Chains A and B, each alone.
Chain A
Amino acid sequence: DTAVSQTPKYLVTQMGNDKSIKCEQNLGHDTMYWYKQDSKKFLKIMFSYNNKELIINETVPNRFSPKSPDKAHLNLHINSLELGDSAVYFCASSQLQGSTEAFFGQGTRLTVV
């Protein structure tokens, strides 16, 4: 059983397109996160949701919009993709915000051409 699953695993798309990355966790966790890992392997938090409510919204372009239809899902929608958006995006979840370990998905490698 996959605890945190992301789809797709790989995504290659052209500049200007709109794409979504889906994330689901079956751990019953309250908090979910999106991280971006750049080419230098540095992980940076983008968003955090707690019980479908946006908690953390770091400085990311408005083209990035998270959507949480329910506690188990946090999808990332990206409009007007740019070359600089190419990265690996990781979804994660934790039981209580800030108190326990976060479980990560496998990552989605996004390549914008």
Chain B
Amino acid sequence: SQELEQSPQSLIVQEGKNLTINCTSSKTLYGLYWYKQKYGEGLIFLMMLQKGGEEKSHEKITAKLDEKKQQSSLHITASQPSHAGIYLCGAHRRDDKIIFGKGTRLHILP
């Protein structure tokens, strides 16, 4: 069955540094979502990517979907404490089910 692999599982970066989180699938994705979860809170929708090669930005967060639609990366520029949390990638499978990666736990050091 298709699964989403996220890497790294955990990430600790100094405030102000850039970072990248990856999400990889063995099969073509039909819609790729990035969510953020603050510890103990609900999920916040960040971005959705549908087309191969698509790139979207929101404030200091940029997400890209590769041409084959099997890999997405989330890039944060000049990280801030407010970026800390768990980042989840989710995607639609061919049968319309939504699946999620296991998440990347991001810590920002002051």
A106 touches B30 (CB 8 A): no
Cα of A44 to Cα of B97 in the assembled complex, Å: 10
Chain A residues, Cβ within 8 Å of B41? 106-107
Q: B98 touches which one: A42, A45, A107 (CB < 8 A)?
A: A45
B42 touches A106 (CB 8 A): yes
Q: B45 touches which one: A43, A55, A99, A104 (CB < 8 A)?
A: A104
A41 touches B103 (CB 8 A): yes
Interface of chain B: mostly helix, strand, loop or mixed? strand
Given that A99-B31, A104-B42 are contacting pairs, would A43 and B97 also be in contact in the complex, using a CB cutoff of 8 Å?
no
Cα of A50 to Cα of B2 in the assembled complex, Å: 23
Chain B 35-49 near chain A by CB (<8 Å), digits 1 or 0 = 101000111010010
Give the A interface residue count (CB, 8 A): 23
Chain A residues, Cβ within 8 Å of B98? 33, 45, 92, 98, 102
Cα of A102 to Cα of B103 in the assembled complex, Å: 17
B42 touches A98 (CB 8 A): no
A40 touches B102 (CB 8 A): yes
Q: B100 touches which one: A42, A97, A101 (CB < 8 A)?
A: A42
Residue positions of B touching A, CB distance < 8 A: 30-31, 33, 35, 37, 41-43, 45, 48, 86, 88, 90, 92, 96-100, 102-103, 105
Which 5 pairs across A and B sit closest by C-beta, in order of nearness? A98-B96, A106-B42, A104-B43, A43-B100, A101-B48
Extra 13 A-B pairs, beta carbons < 8 Å, given A42-B100, A45-B98, A100-B31? A41-B86, A41-B102, A43-B100, A90-B43, A97-B96, A98-B31, A100-B48, A101-B45, A102-B98, A104-B43, A106-B42, A107-B41, A107-B43
